[in-house]
Chain A
Amino acid sequence: MRSAAEIASDVKSGASSAVSEVTQALAVIRARNEDLNVFLYVDEEGALATARRVDERVAAGDDLGSLVGVPVALKDNLCQVGVPTTAGSRILQGWLPPYNATVIDRVLAAGAVPMGKTNMDEFAMGSSTETSAYGPTRNPLDPSRVPGGSSGGSAAAVAADMTPIALGSDTGGSIRQPAALCGLVGVKPTYGLVSRYGLIAFASSLDQIGPFAKNVTDAAMLLEAIAGHDPMDSTSLPEPSPSLVAHVGDGVAGKRFGLVRELVEGADDDVVASVTRAADALRDAGARIVDLSVPEFRLGLSAYYLLAPAEASSNLARYDGVRYGLRIDGEDVAAMNEATRTAGFGAEVKRRIMLGTYALSAGYYDAYYGQALKVRTQMIDAFRRAYHEADLLLGATTPSVAFKFGAKTSNPMAMYLSDVFTIPTNLAGEAAISVPFGTGEGGLPVGVQLLGPGRSEAQLFAASRVLEVADGRS
């Protein structure tokens, strides 16, 4: 498939049209969606109508944005007016949002065409899409394996050539991990860089929307289109969208990269080998590699699995059968709430709600939630110290390549460990990218992770581009 940049350029020049691009994307979706279960809803009519409007504006000579005529897949926790949005949960089956998420207005303003909603772990709680109420998504590179999660559908849409770009959300690794498992570039932006207005909340202090793409430039284009202050999100950073695409070719000469021991510890040999070769490639491009140890990263998993469920237990209290979504009747309101939530939520969501409720309950608050908040402070301080030694950090995205279906479903702790390298960035509110670099077991892609301080996206894209070229994908 052509890149988003090529498609936009062809549509602008008249060599192609938005309708033609959307028609081609729909054909691929039709051919592969039944096997892979990528899209929960394909908005065929809406996409064609949007494409026609884009073509009219191009014909009228309007200066549209950077993504003119580019099909984009949307994770099913992003609200789009009148388009079924479920967050992968039975409790929202059939719900039609009454407003657009800010990111959807922004991709539309850039000329992109939303194609529909992609499968995900229920309420983004999972690392494999196996917790979706609508069945798992299959990894297009090996359908016997998971695509990762929670944004597994968005990753699979791009990996299967259904769309060149997609949006996901990352609370503990939910963009970077599926990007790694599907051989894509995936970005977790700085907290607040992208508006969360219209993103169905999981853990509000950790959630961030970000892009998937097959190459670094396309990812930078999509992030540039969606970033920037939004008055509708009180946690939105004050400044406008940064210049990112212009910095993709900046290189890494003179930059210091911290190769973090804790970000490869316990990873499979093929993954460690890719990270080592990535360090060599950065050194060859003029960077300096510094070996670092950040022991606080080892505490991230525990802190995350208290903080995220605590926030989720509060955020998901709104699904009570009163204002929208599923209702199962009961003799009084409490019985109705309980019947609705019991039928509407799957096992993983129930586990996390209970874990969060427990961590916040009297007698355990200080020992669990309170301690986890303090560990978060330590994590932020640890990153700050690391950035005295290095400009950016380097490690693995995931401990292994894509795993088989059912490999981790019976043991939640084993599944949670797939996020061990990605969680620290969310806790600190910083930025990180997963870039495909080399292959591992069975020829499956390995993701290398680059981490940077808040607002370091331009540097992260430049470093990612160096790796992309070194990996032979120019």
Chain B
Amino acid sequence: MSSPLRREDVAKVAKLARLALSETELDQFTEQLGQVLEHANDIAALKLDDVVATAHPFGLINVVREDVLRESLSRDVVLAMAPDAQDGRFAVPRIMGEAP
């Protein structure tokens, strides 16, 4: 069983997910997400040590294709969808100087 969701937990998760929340949204989401997690406590409390986890319904096997050349999207088509592109590359605001 997990402890109830706190406002600072929601703020931290929003930061990790790259979402900016207003103070009102923080309050609202803390309450709403808390309700969902409270409902989820029915499974958090189950004793399932001997149960194997299923990530996928049919136990996927990795699928590989033959290593042969085939048509793909051209670079120009892909870059044309980008908000900004320069010299055949995606362009973004500066990335240097950020905290590690």
Contacts and interface: CB of A to CB of B under 8 A. Distances in A.
Contact of B51 (A192, A305, A378): A378
B22 to A, nearest CB: 10
Contact of B36 (A321, A347, A416): A416
Contacts of A416: 36
Interface in A311-363: 313, 320-327, 329-339, 341-342, 345, 347, 350-351, 353-355, 357-358, 361
Given A99-B73, A354-B10, A338 B19 contact: yes
Contact of B63 (A234, A411, A413): A234
A96 interface: yes
Interface residues of B, number: 53
Contacts of B18: 320, 334, 337-338, 341
Give the size category of A's interface with B.
35 or more
Chain A contact residues, majority secondary structure: helix
A374 B52 contact: yes
A428 B63 CA distance: 21
Contacts, number: 170
Given A98-B81, A323-B90, A357-B17, A332 B97 contact: yes
B13 interface: yes
A95 B78 CA distance: 12
Chain B contact residues, majority secondary structure: loop
Interface string B1-41: 11001000110011011111100010001001101110110
Nearest to A95: B81
B67 interface: no
B60 interface: yes
Contacts of A350: 14, 17, 19, 21, 25, 29
B23 to A, nearest CB: 14
A140 to B, nearest CB: 31
Contact of B56 (A205, A338, A342): A205
A234 B83 CA distance: 30
Given A332-B97, A375-B46, A412 B17 contact: no
A271 interface: no
A95, A326, A339, A368 — most chain B CB neighbours (10 Å): A368
Contacts of A376: 53-54, 57
Contacts of B33: 351, 354-355, 358
Contacts of B98: 332-334
A347 B58 CA distance: 33
A452 B78 CA distance: 41
Interface string A233-267: 01100000000000000000000000000000000
Interface of B: 1-2, 5, 9-10, 13-14, 16-21, 25, 29, 32-33, 35-37, 39-40, 42-44, 46, 48, 51-58, 60, 62-63, 65, 73, 77-78, 81-84, 90, 92-95, 97-98
Interface of A: 95-96, 98-99, 191-192, 205, 231, 234-235, 298-299, 301-303, 305-306, 313, 320-327, 329-339, 341-342, 345, 347, 350-351, 353-355, 357-358, 361, 364, 367-368, 370-378, 380, 411-413, 416, 427-430, 454
Given A331-B94, A353-B17, A374-B53, 20 more contacts: A99-B73, A299-B42, A302-B43, A303-B43, A323-B81, A324-B82, A332-B94, A336-B92, A338-B19, A339-B20, A341-B18, A347-B25, A350-B14, A353-B19, A355-B37, A368-B2, A373-B55, A374-B51, A377-B51, A413-B36
Nearest 7 CB-CB pairs, A to B?
Answer: A429-B57, A327-B83, A373-B53, A234-B63, A324-B81, A374-B51, A374-B48
